[in-house]
Amino acid sequence: EAGVVQSPRYKIIEKKQPVAFWCNPISGHNTLYWYRQNLGQGPELLIRYENEEAVDDSQLPKDRFSAERLKGVDSTLKIQPAELGDSAVYLCASSSGRGRETQYFGPGTRLLVL
């Protein structure tokens, strides 16, 4: 079974530029998470989807961050415009969604904003 797929693996951009990250969850997993991991810290949740619905986006900086999960499968996380402080690893995870299932993580996208 294929794991969570993320692309790109690395992205370097200049501040004020837009950037987008893509995630394909494990087949059949209807819950999808985006986490941000700053250097030397544990991941923190940005947004959680149940199918197409964003059920927890309380930690998403909505002035510059947006996310979508069309058709309840793949998801895209966007930052526009990027700031220096957005440099981090962005992790996508998925679970089967019955509320008590383990979350499986993708390899992450390392973003560097110059």
Q: List contacts with other proteins (CB under 8 A).
A: 31, 33, 35, 40-45, 48, 56, 89, 91, 93, 95, 99-100, 102-108, 110
- For the bound state, the minimum distance from the C-beta of residue 61 to other proteins, rounded and expressed in Å, comes to 16
- For the bound state, the minimum distance from the C-beta of residue 9 to other proteins, rounded and expressed in Å, comes to 9
Distances (CA, A) of 32 to 16, 24, 41, 45: 27, 9, 21, 11
**Cβ–Cβ under 8 Å, residues 31 and 97:** yes
Choice between 71 and 99, CB closer to other proteins? 99
Distances (CA, A) of 85 to 6, 30, 75: 21, 31, 23
Choice between 45 and 81, CB closer to other proteins? 45
How many Cα atoms within 13 Å fall on the side-chain side of residue 21? Answer: 31
- For the bound state, the minimum distance from the C-beta of residue 65 to other proteins, rounded and expressed in Å, comes to 16
* Residue 94 in tokens: 């998925």
Choice between 55 and 80, CB closer to other proteins? 55
